[in-house]
Structure 1
Amino acid sequence: TNVLGAILIGFIAGVAAGNADTSENAVLFWKTGVCGGFTTFSTFSLEALTLLEKKAYLAGSCYIILSVVFCLAGVICGRRLAMPLH
């Protein structure tokens, strides 16, 4: 869900960036409220900590690094998906 949420938040940011008429409050609601509630960082943190506590250091490290990389890529993809809407 984190990657899907990253794509969605990137899409919303991309649409808002190309539209001067977009309400700042509406953008904050969708980015922070909806996407923030959909992708909880606490779940990611708990899963990473559980792996590290089980001494699965390689798996835990890969999970942390790949989650961040894929979520950043998701935001980029979402923004690019929004480009044709400008």
Structure 2
Amino acid sequence: MFRISLIFLGGGLGALARFGLAGWVARLFPSTFPLGTLSVNIFGSFLIGLLITGLEGRLSCSSPFYGFLVIGILGGFTTFSAFSLESVNLMRNGAWGSAGSYVTLSLLCCLIGTMVGMRLGKWW
């Protein structure tokens, strides 16, 4: 029950962080392009790469801290469902170029973010 409580708490904190960062980016760069979600997902991908590699050998997947941090906070922070909805909405609105750019940027930048995080995590 303790681990489940930590995941629950982490998920709430991650969702609040996502709300804050996505909103801040959207206010900073107003656009119909979903830059807030893109930023959150790239940053979340970087963080998961950094943490998983940096904590490798020091943190078990069965650890309550892993559940809190990786499953809870980062799971609540990144949002594939919002990415999917925003992509479909761009297509439904006829913004096929923006939809294609968003999907491509999301995939490439999130993969790169994870790899950069993993590389930096090795120094940790």
The equivalent position to 2:113 in structure 1, one of 50, 53, 74, is 74
- Secondary structure of the 1:58 match is helix
Percentage identity across paired residues of the two chains: 36
Which whole-Å CA distance do the structure 2 matches of 1:60 and 1:36 have between them? 24
The letter for the 1-side match of 2:122 is M
| Structure 1 residue runs of 4 or more that deviate by more than 4 Å after TM superposition | none
Structure 2 unaligned residues grouped into runs of 5+: 1-39
Which whole-Å CA distance do the structure 2 matches of 1:27 and 1:13 have between them? 9
Q: Deviation string for 1:20-62 (max 9, x for gaps)? A: 2323223343222111100111111111111000111121011
| C-alpha contact 2:46 2:110 (8 A) present in aligned 1 | yes
Structure 1 unaligned residues grouped into runs of 5+: none
- What's 2:54 paired with? 15
| C-alpha contact 1:12 1:27 (8 A) present in aligned 2 | no
More helix by share: 1
TM-score (structure 1 length as normaliser): 0.85
Q: Which has the higher contact order (CA 8 A, sep 6+)?
A: 1
Which whole-Å CA distance do the structure 2 matches of 1:83 and 1:21 have between them? 12
